[in-house]
Amino acid sequence: MALLEVRGVSKTFGSLKALGGVDVTVQPNTFHGLIGPNGSGKSTLLKAIAGAHFADGGTISFDGMDVTTMLPADRSRRGLSLKFQITAVLLELSVYDNILLAFQAHQPVWGLLRSLSRRNLHPEVMAALARFQLADRADDLAGELSHGQQQWLEIAMALTQKPKLLLLDEPTGGMSPEERRATGDLLVPIKQHCAMIIVEHDLDFIKDICDRLTVLDNGQVLDDGTVAEIEASTKVQEVYTTRV
């Protein structure tokens, strides 16, 4: 059974049709690339999946349940995690506290008040930081990290939730080629326990790590298939050579 099924999702902003009936299917433990020109609706689609805004039409089912109108917090509890395009790490908190905040999200209030879990979570927090090469920045404010490191922190935070599906909006935005390569290496092992939708402009990056691709253009699915199929697709080449 597919992990995520998006059927005919549409979204309109005023008179602008950002999504006009989009279908996407994601299988468990696969990385699914979402590409397309600027303004083609990639972020809009991810937000609709995560619940940051609701689709005007169509249905989204996740893990066998219709989540089309479910609140973001409830989707998150079911295993859907979104990394925002503009990094939304909490800049005034330490790197450590950002991760702790993500880890303790499902603790009961009374336990939080008594700080029952911070001691036990400490090794996990440090492990999550180490995994993304942030351990030596634990005490710094998240706002003091480089852009690339903030992206990693975001991904690390999203992963603490042990999501079944992680939505990444431009994880390598603003990164050096060096950092990009490192990011790819950091993401690949995740496939063992989590599927992913990755929005990217860097095609080389996405080709390396994704299993399937969906190409959006003007709020419509232009093409969909394995990386090799998309590379061979004339429709896609047309859009990418004439407009990007």
Ligand X SMILES: Nc1ncnc2c1ncn2[C@@H]1O[C@H](COP(=O)(O)OP(=O)(O)OP(=O)(O)O)[C@@H](O)[C@H]1O
| Residue ranges binding ligand X (CB under 6 A) | 13, 16, 18, 36, 38-44
Q: Which is nearer to another protein, 2 or 105 (CB)?
A: 105
Q: Which is nearer to another protein, 15 or 114 (CB)?
A: 114
Report d(CA 195, CA 28) in Å as an integer.
5
Taking the alpha carbons at both ends of the chain, their separation in whole angstroms is 35
Minimum distance, C-beta of residue 135 to another protein, in the bound complex (Å): 5
* CB of 101 or CB of 203, closer to another protein: 101
User: What residues numbered 146-165 form the site for another protein, per CB under 8 A?
Assistant: 157, 161
Instruction: Give the Cβ contact number of residue 45 at 10 Å.
Output: 29
Among 5, 20, 126, 201, which residue sits at the site for another protein (rule: CB under 8 A)?
A: 126
Contact track, another protein, 63-82, x by CB under 8 A: --------xxx--xx---xx
230 makes contact, choosing from ligand X, Mg ion, another protein, none, with CB < 5 to 8 Å by partner type, with none
- Closest distance of CB 226 from another protein, Å: 30
Q: Does 43 bind Mg ion (CB under 5 A)?
A: yes
The C-alpha angle with vertex 45 and arms to 74 and 227, in degrees rounded to 5, equals 115
Of residues 178 through 237, those in contact with another protein by CB under 8 A are none
Indicate whether 172 belongs to the interface with Mg ion (CB under 5 A). no
Q: Closest distance between another protein and the C-beta of residue 217, in Å?
A: 28
Residues 6+ apart with CB under 8 A from 210: 31, 32, 33, 198, 227
Considering CB under 8 A, how many residues would be counted as binding another protein? Answer: 50
